[in-house]
Amino acid sequence: MKCYYHPNEDAVATCARCGVGLCRECAGKYKYTDGKLICSQCYETLDKENRAMENAGLQAELKTLKEHLRGVFLSALLICAFLSVKVWNGGMDVTIYKMPFFIGVVIVLFFSLCFLSKVLRI
């Protein structure tokens, strides 16, 4: 049997995936995950498949993260709205010194949520 990539060379091994002959030069280039030899075309195919699977996994994780963050953001906004109504109606004892801090926290939280929602496209 001759090498698939170098027809003038005798094959010393075969690709574990597709079975084509590999010469000494080709046999030393790529190995399968379990140590078996594979040809360059099979290596490229496996590399593309692995990248596609990793990409799909990352996309699924990102989607889950977005769903969790959306819940956190909505909860934070509801808490801010509830506290704002309580303060506005006089239901909470907010002294003159605490009010700027409370307003600052609400403003920072609001703009943080707006920024993160645009970045994550939630």
Measured distance CA(53)–CA(50) in Å, rounded? 5
Concatenating the DSSP letter of every residue in 76-108 gives HHHHHHHHHHHHHTT-S---TTHHHHHHHHHHH
Model confidence pLDDT, tens digit, residues 108-118? 777 777 777 66
Pair 39, 15: CB distance under 8 Å = yes
Pair 12, 23: CB distance under 8 Å = yes
- Average pLDDT over the chain reads 80
Pair 23, 9: CB distance under 8 Å = yes
pLDDT of residue 16 exceeding 70, the answer is yes
Helix axes 98-120, 40-88, angle to 10 degrees: 150
Model confidence pLDDT, tens digit, residues 65-102? 877 777 777 777 777 777 777 766 666 665 666 667 77
